[in-house]
Structure 1
Amino acid sequence: MAGVFGATTTTDEVLDGVDLTGKRYLVTGVSAGLGVETARALVAHGASVVGAARDLAKAEAATGEVRAAAGPGSFDLIELDLASLASVRAAADRLLADGRRFDAVIANAGIMATPEGRTADGFELQFGTNHLGHFLFVNRIAPLIVDGGRFVSLSSGAHHFSDIDLDDPNFEHTPYDPWQAYGAAKTANALFAVEFDRRHRGRGIRAASVHPGGINTELGRYMSEEAQATLSAAVAQMQASGQGFAFKSVPQGAATSVWAATVADPADIGGRYLEDCGVAATVETQSVGSGVRPYALDADRAKLLWDKSEALVGESF
């Protein structure tokens, strides 16, 4: 049963007393960090989970604890490289052919503040991986989400760094900055949830975006020294200004995703941006520690991003 949760709540506290037997979930990014913990918590409470990962060997090695936690539920892996639309389509087709439904899809995978690069299809690496890969994948498997199900899109407090430039999302004309690109991609993750929620709420499906908090995981493995220095300076500035920024443990970081996918009231979270197992406040000033900027929840921009994304991936939904 749902309780009163906050910034230090863990996944197991969210699911204390909750039986997920008979429920089925899909979690992307299960080769490390938040994805592994999200899958473990769900499986430990009886759910069946399909975990998606680019590197299946790495995911196999990382998810031993997930399989060990399985009781009445189960855990399976599927290959998914979000930086390749061909891989995305192949993974979606495999799930559609299988036909089994999901109670929730958690789009957890992502990369952060990478040096400038391109996906297999020529998109800016962070926008292409974090947003377009998930956009195509989740929309293709949307028929598998049960009526009354949920979609959880992992955004970040880093959306404060930048809105998405709908005229140049791939940094073809804008000078590339790793944090601006990451912020734009995380804004896109939030806007995707807004429009997905609008389009699917007629089936009772509700979508929300999530800021997991600051967690020391592999997410920053591609960061340059300059990008790492920028992050350290931003954290120090927040702490000095009294914003109270504190890093979370992995179970605390995964808690909001698990809460949104399982026990949160869908009517309360639909179309919203969530943090610390609750709905975030809207804020007008930049503060990557907490709150959501209005542009990340703008319904009109969410529709425009959807149209742009369809044009880029070459499919309409």
Structure 2
Amino acid sequence: MSHVFDARSTTDEVLADVDLHGKRILVTGASAGLGVETLRSLAAHGADVVGAARDLAKARGATAGVREGALTSGGSFELIELDLASLSSVRACADQLLKDARPFDIVIANAGVMAPPFGQTADGFETQFGTNHLGHFVLVNRIAGLLGEGGRLVNLSSAGHRFADVDLDDPNFERTAYDPWVGYGRSKTANILFTVEFDRRHRGRGVRATAVHPGGIRTELGRHMTASDEQALIASINAAHAAAGLPPFEFKSIPQGAATTVWAATVAHPDAIGGHYCEDCQVAEIQDGEGIRGGVRPYALDPKHAEALWTRSEELVGERFL
């Protein structure tokens, strides 16, 4: 593929020349927004897609078009139940996939929650760290054997990782005052660090992992934000952009937001993106400036930090993974 894509590229543009017949792909967060668009675009190009969602009734309604597109293209579509805020649900989902035993070519960890009031998962973890990171950490590692040579893992992160590094000593805000954006930043940094260590552990057998920032999109992810919250966030982003000599922030459409995901999953060369953080259909540069802006902070790609997070995550969930 010689095409160069950017922030305005859509899923259909990225996949215009891509035939996905015979590819089996798992996408979490299959009931709204980017998850549905990701499934739709992949199914429209012949992939056999599996959508994972907490609320299957909602997911069935949201993905009616995905099912129709799969029938038209010669692909297939199915749903599986997954509540990332409950490790018993995560393990049940993984067990079901392992029992089925059909391999995956691509796993896309898309689901997430952003900046809610303080809460805890069913297992007592802070909601964002538990859902965005630990739920996916257990799911992906349990089914990692279903990814064979040439397989890819795509973890959805965010420019929000720039809000905060992970806190391995106090991941659940037991001794730290809770700030929803700090919690979000920690979880999104964790998504990148998980990518780095998963890629290191699995690239020897031909499986690569990458993290992606979809951009700013109005989806259900922002359900906990008020209009004034959104205005304040955009103002802070624009201030960071101005300081860096960047143009003002612009929202992406949902097809534009999902474009980097499908690009990393199917189009980009695995060696180019493996262990990296991508945005706007490109590998992002390391940028340590203040504020929410483009680029990835160095702490999110640090291999020793990634290994430490892996070890701490194993301790928290009570499982060891290869």
Bucket of the pairwise TM-score, normalised by the shorter protein: over 0.9
Q: Which of these residues, 242, 246, 251, is aligned with residue 243 of structure 1?
A: 246
**For residues 166 and 279 of structure 1, what CA distance do their matches in structure 2 show?**
27
Partner of 1:259: 263
Deviation at 1:72, TM superposition (A): 1.0
Contact 2:236 2:291 in 1 (8 A): no
Q: Secondary structure at the match of 2:150?
A: strand
Letter in 2 for 1:274: C
**For residues 309 and 239 of structure 1, what CA distance do their matches in structure 2 show?**
34
The TM-score, its normalising length taken from structure 1, stands at 0.97
Partner of 1:171: 173
Contact 1:212 1:254 in 2 (8 A): yes
Q: Which of these residues, 304, 308, 317, is aligned with residue 308 of structure 2?
A: 304
Q: Secondary structure at the match of 2:143?
A: helix
**For residues 175 and 232 of structure 2, what CA distance do their matches in structure 1 show?**
23
**For residues 271 and 122 of structure 1, what CA distance do their matches in structure 2 show?**
30
**For residues 277 and 232 of structure 2, what CA distance do their matches in structure 1 show?**
25
Aligned residues: 317
Q: Secondary structure at the match of 1:284?
A: coil
Q: Secondary structure at the match of 1:50?
A: strand
Deviation at 1:224, TM superposition (A): 5.7
**Which runs of 5 or more residues in structure 1 are unaligned?**
none
Deviation at 1:134, TM superposition (A): 0.2
Partner of 2:163: 161
Deviation at 1:238, TM superposition (A): 4.2
Contact 1:2 1:263 in 2 (8 A): no
Contact 1:53 1:79 in 2 (8 A): yes
Partner of 2:276: 272
Contact 1:194 1:302 in 2 (8 A): yes
Q: Secondary structure at the match of 1:116?
A: coil
Q: Secondary structure at the match of 1:196?
A: helix
Partner of 1:286: 290
**For residues 163 and 83 of structure 1, what CA distance do their matches in structure 2 show?**
21
Deviation at 1:4, TM superposition (A): 0.8
Deviation at 1:243, TM superposition (A): 2.5
TM alignment of 1:21-170, pairs within 5 A? 21-70=21-70, 71-170=73-172
The TM-score, its normalising length taken from structure 2, stands at 0.96
Residue 218 in structure 1 maps to residue 220 in structure 2:
yes
Letter in 2 for 1:37: E
Contact 2:241 2:293 in 1 (8 A): no
200-209 or 284-293: which moved more?
Answer: 284-293
The Cα RMSD (Å) is 1.3
Deviation string 1:285-316 (CA, Å, 9 cap, x unpaired) is 12423100000101000000000000001000
